[in-house]
Amino acid sequence: MPNPLIEFRQLQKVYGSGNTEVRALWNVDLTIWPGEYCAIMGPSGSGKSTAMNMIGCLDRPTGGDYYFDNQNVASLDDAALAHIRNQKIGFVFQQFHLLPQLTARENVELPMVYAGVSRVERHQRAIAALQQVGLGDRLNNRPNQLSGGQQQRVAIARAIVNRPLLLLADEPTGALDTHTTEDVLTIFAELHRRGITIVLVTHEPDVARASQRIIWFKDGEVLNDHLCPADLGSFVTPSLRP
Ligand SMILES: Nc1ncnc2c1ncn2[C@@H]1O[C@H](COP(=O)(O)OP(=O)(O)OP(=O)(O)O)[C@@H](O)[C@H]1O
Ligand SMILES: [Mg+2]
């Protein structure tokens, strides 16, 4: 049995204090194993993005423990966290977050610049990553010369180019139409087949159904952490619907 990739133990994230205190995450236990494909769902404000920020080592818990790839995140300094993010985690966001002045290839090369990869290898790996997401013919286009779906595919190429253990995506299809959403899900399925762990946040049942496991948040707690995608319909009652 491998070790968990992600392990929350009674994890808390509290913003503010006194009257303004918000328990964004409250005593969350959560274990995600290498190779899993999970979707995080739940109403607005339930703590999904906060959980993603924790998982992605962008923030530290205010209580409890978080172990990522066997390392206690609370014990690491900012430089160590940045190193983990660069080497082991790929991020995809709803609004793509590409740099507008750079071409698709240059955007994909960026994480490798930080990782100290040589120029020649950066070029080769960026081109291979863009080919993998079906954009081998758009290498030199800037983001404003690409459709939304194409921009998201560039962002996915950028996220995987350092060969991370984990792909984290917060509402990756939130800005896309149904057809382009399918393209992104096809790419995720292929990446998952190749062994990468995927955790995404979504409000869309059809996106969650493409995963293997749904984790349902409500009011900063995990209400169900092993919901089978096939059972989603019965679980999404009107009161829980995002
Ligand atoms: N930086 C912050 N400072 C104070 N409160 C915050 C901060 N970030 C989030 N919160 C609060 O924490 C709670 C959880 O927020 P979070 O962004 O994780 O929700 P979410 O499930 O991602 O919602 P949505 O579906 O709308 O994106 C909310 O009540 C939110 O207002
Ligand atoms: Mg959110």
Asked if residue 241 is part of any domain, the answer here is no
Q: Residue 170 CA: which ligand is closest? A: 2
Q: How many angstroms does the Cα of residue 133 sit away from the middle of ligand 1?
A: 31
pLDDT of residue 186: 97
Number of domains in the chain: 1
Q: Which residue's C-alpha comes closest to atom 2 of ligand 1?
A: 15
Q: Which residue's C-alpha comes closest to atom 16 of ligand 1?
A: 47
Q: Which residue's C-alpha comes closest to atom 8 of ligand 1?
A: 50
pLDDT of residue 236: 66
Can you tell me which atom of ligand 1 is nearest the CA of 203? Answer: 25
Could you tell which of 13, 20, 22, 204 is best to mutate to test the pocket of ligand 1, judged by most ligand atoms within 8 Å of the CB?
A: 22
Q: Is 46 in the pocket of ligand 1 (CB under 6 A)?
A: yes
Could you tell which of 48, 201, 203, 219 is best to mutate to test the pocket of ligand 1, judged by most ligand atoms within 8 Å of the CB?
A: 48
Structure tokens at 123: 């070029």
Can you tell me which atom of ligand 1 is nearest the CA of 53? Answer: 18
CB-count burial class (<10 Å; 0-12, 13-18, 19+) for 236: middle
pLDDT tens, per residue, the chain with 242 residues: 689 999 999 999 999 999 999 999 999 999 999 999 999 999 999 999 999 999 999 999 999 999 999 999 988 999 999 999 999 999 999 999 999 999 999 999 999 998 899 999 999 999 999 999 999 999 999 999 999 999 999 999 999 999 999 999 999 999 999 999 999 999 999 999 999 999 999 999 999 999 999 999 999 999 998 888 888 876 665 455 55
Q: Is 50 in the pocket of ligand 1 (CB under 6 A)?
A: yes
Full DSSP string of 131-185? HHTT-TT-TT--GGGS-HHHHHHHHHHHHHTT--SEEEEESTTTTS-HHHHHHHH
Q: Is 15 in the pocket of ligand 1 (CB under 6 A)?
A: yes
Structure tokens at 131: 């080919």
Range of the domain at 54: 34-61+74-235
pLDDT of residue 231: 83
pLDDT of residue 75: 87
Asked if residue 135 is part of any domain, the answer here is yes
Whole-number Å distance between alpha carbons of 168 and 38: 10
Dihedrals phi, psi of 127, to nearest 5 degrees? -65, -45
Full DSSP string of 56-112? TTSS--SEEEEEETTEEGGG--HHHHHHHHHHHEEEEETT----TTS-HHHHHHHHH
pLDDT of residue 155: 98
Whole-number Å distance between alpha carbons of 153 and 130: 8
Asked if residue 125 is part of any domain, the answer here is yes
Asked if residue 44 is part of any domain, the answer here is yes
Asked if residue 13 is part of any domain, the answer here is no
Helix, strand, or coil here: 188? Answer: helix
Q: Which residues contact 100 (CB under 8 A, 6 or more apart)?
A: 142, 143, 144
Instruction: Express each pLDDT in 102-115 by its tens digit.
Output: 999 999 999 999 88
211: DSSP letter: S
Asked if residue 16 is part of any domain, the answer here is no
Does the predicted TM-score (pTM) go above 0.85?
Answer: yes
Q: Is 28 in the pocket of ligand 1 (CB under 6 A)?
A: no
Q: How many CB atoms lie within 10 A of CB 221?
A: 16
Q: Residue 54 CA: which ligand is closest? A: 1
Asked if residue 12 is part of any domain, the answer here is no
Domain CATH for 87: 3.40.50.300
